[in-house]
C-alpha cells in the first residue's frame, strides 16, 4: 500500500461548484449531484381508510396514512412510498455517470477499472462485485445520498476487484478512501441499523 494515498483528499464532486464560475461548471462531465433526502412528514388522516398517498412539498415529503393504522403498518407504508418518491426525484434530477465517477476514483486511489459499473435495484445491499468478470452493481438507493458516501461504496467495490473478500488486505485498499468509515456510519443510520453488507461473487 502506498501510504501517501491515505492522505489523498476525496474527489471533488459538484460539492465545490459554488466556488467555480458557471461556465466551468457547465463544462464539467455529467456527474449529477445526488439528491439530499427530504424530511418526511406523516399525517394520520381520518378521511383515509386503507391507502396512503405521498407528495413532494418544497421542504418535505408529506405522507397521508389512514388514521386507524397500526404503527408498524404505518412505518412500512411510509418507507415504501418515500422510497418510490425518492426514486422518481433521482430519475428527474438526471443520471449520475457511474462509469466516469469510478474511472476518476480508480485513478486517484490506484485501483483497477471495472469492466462495467451499473445501477441496480437491490434493496438488500449497497453494492455488489463479480470480481471474475470485473463487473460492479450499485444500489439505486445510493442515487440520493451525498457524493462522498456514493464514492465510498464505489471505492469499496473497486477494492473487491483486487481482493474479493473482506480481509485486512481488502480494507487496506478500501480505506485509501479517507471517509470510508464515516460513510459506513451514514449508511448504517440510513438503513436504520440493518446491516447492509455488499455482495461479492
Ligand atoms: Zn464488500
Query: Tell me: the pLDDT tens digits for 26-70?
Result: 333 334 455 666 788 899 999 888 888 988 887 788 999 999 888
The whole-number average pLDDT for the span 73-98 is 79
- Cell 501517501, residue located: 4
CA of 181 to the centre of ligand 1 (A): 13
Choose the final residue of a domain: 72, 93, 114: 93
Give distance in angstroms: CA of 128 to centre of ligand 1: 7
Range of 143's domain? 3-15+96-200
Q: What is the pLDDT of residue 2?
A: 44
Clarify whether residues 132 and 56 are in a common domain.
Answer: no
Confidence of residue 194 (pLDDT cuts 50, 70, 90): low
Nearest to 12 by CA among 36, 33, 41: 33
Question: For the whole model, what pTM was predicted?
Answer: 0.58
Look at residue 69 in the predicted model and tell me its pLDDT. 87
105 and 89 co-located in one domain? no
In the predicted structure, residue 16 carries a pLDDT above the cut 70:
no
Residues 6+ apart with CB under 8 A from 93: 32, 33, 35
77 and 156: one domain? no
| Distance in Å, CA 174 to ligand 1 centroid | 9
Q: How many domains does the chain have?
A: 2
Nearest to 108, CA basis, from 140, 68, 151: 151
The model's pLDDT over 123-161, given as tens digits with 9 standing for 90+, comes to: 888 999 999 999 999 998 898 788 899 999 999 999 999
- pLDDT (average), residues 64-86: 86
Burial of 66 (0-12, 13-18, 19+ CB in 10 A): middle
Report the distance separating Cα 8 and Cα 195, nearest Å: 28
Compute, in angstroms, the gap from residue 155 CA to the centroid of ligand 1.
10
- Alpha carbon distance 98, 151 (integer Å): 10
Residues near ion ligand 1 (Cβ under 5 Å): 198
Please tell me whether residues 151 and 167 are part of one structural domain. yes
CA distance 65 to 77: 8
Amino acid at each position: 500500500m502506498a501510504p501517501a494515498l491515505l492522505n489523498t483528499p476525496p474527489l471533488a464532486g459538484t460539492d465545490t461548484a459554488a466556488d467555480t464560475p458557471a461556465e466551468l461548471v457547465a463544462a464539467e462531465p455529467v456527474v449529477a449531484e445526488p439528491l439530499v433526502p427530504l424530511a418526511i412528514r406523516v399525517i394520520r388522516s381520518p378521511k383515509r381508510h386503507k391507502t396512503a398517498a405521498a407528495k413532494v412539498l418544497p421542504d418535505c415529503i408529506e405522507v397521508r396514512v389512514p388514521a386507524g393504522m397500526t404503527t408498524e403498518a404505518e412505518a412500512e407504508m411510509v418507507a415504501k412510498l418515500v422510497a418510490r418518491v425518492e426514486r422518481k426525484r433521482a430519475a428527474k434530477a438526471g443520471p449520475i455517470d457511474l462509469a466516469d465517477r469510478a474511472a476518476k476514483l480508480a485513478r486517484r486511489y490506484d485501483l483497477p477499472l471495472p469492466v462495467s459499473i451499473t445501477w441496480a435495484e437491490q434493496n438488500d445491499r449497497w453494492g455488489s462485485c463479480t470480481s471474475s468478470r470485473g463487473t460492479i452493481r450499485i444500489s439505486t438507493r445510493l442515487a440520493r445520498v451525498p457524493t462522498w458516501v456514493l464514492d465510498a461504496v464505489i471505492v469499496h467495490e473497486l477494492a473487491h476487484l483486487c481482493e474479493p473478500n473482506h480481509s485486512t488486505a481488502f480494507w487496506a485498499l478500501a480505506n485509501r478512501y479517507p471517509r470510508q468509515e464515516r460513510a459506513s456510519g451514514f449508511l448504517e443510520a440510513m438503513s436504520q441499523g440493518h446491516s447492509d453488507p455488499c455482495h461479492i461473487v
